[in-house]
Amino acid sequence: MNKKAIIVGASSGIGREVALLLLAEGWHLGLAARRMEPLLELKALAPERVEVMTIDVTQPDAGDLLLTLIQRMDGIQLYFHASGIGHQNRMLEADIELRTMDTNAVGFTRMIGTAYRYFAERGEGHIAAITSIAGTKGLGPAPAYSATKAMQATYLQALEQQAHQRGLHIRFTDIRPGFVDTALLRGDFRYPMLMQPQAVARDIVHSLHHHHHIRIIDFRYRLLTFFWRLIPNWIWRRMKI
């Protein structure tokens, strides 16, 4: 049986790099994002194995479009969610917070929920999503971003428990990178321990093949988040980040 996956958020960054790796492995892919041109560039690499569609996860019809893409592919085994936005927002500008919530919380729930219901009808499947180590603790410089990333991790955990209780063979992979050199982090601020998207994508594909439940990418971030969890709230609230 041909291996088939849909990647939402495939136009750039980690989603694009994962798409390139899966194409090299012979997968048939459905690629979706808000911008069509980058998707067509990927399709040109293997026209017979790639379907493309413009999907904006913040729009109410995004779930229906995902099901249409699944139908065009005659079914899938993997749904990979790489769509998301993130900004530092130290002044708590309202539009930044609300756009982040709309994409990372509402849009995430819309797409993951659609994929889950599709796989529930089939009785099996694999859902993977890029969350972040930012969901480990509430980060003052990026309130909505860290809050939505915590929500995403909890949502995946809840669905994994529900699937098990329902006897559904749906696997979940929660991918938690640290700072990755993508357009999401472009700006004047210099981020520490910056990782390259190609290396992150290789780790992700390895994690998908080995059915990891939670994958914090890079041992430095695994150590960092381990110690973050040990910090009491009365100390955390006083820390400068």
Active site residues: 145
Question: Amino acid identity, residue 158?
Answer: A
At which residue do the structure tokens 């910056």 appear?
194
At which residue do the structure tokens 């041109």 appear?
37
Q: What's the length of the chain?
A: 241
Distance from chain centroid for Cα 224:
21
Task: Give the CA distances from residue 205 to residues 62, 142, 165, 216, in Å, rounded to whole numbers and listed in that order.
Answer: 25, 28, 27, 13
Are residues 81 and 111 in contact, defined by beta-carbon separation less than 8 angstroms? yes
Tokens of 16: 């694009």
Tokens of 172: 């979940």
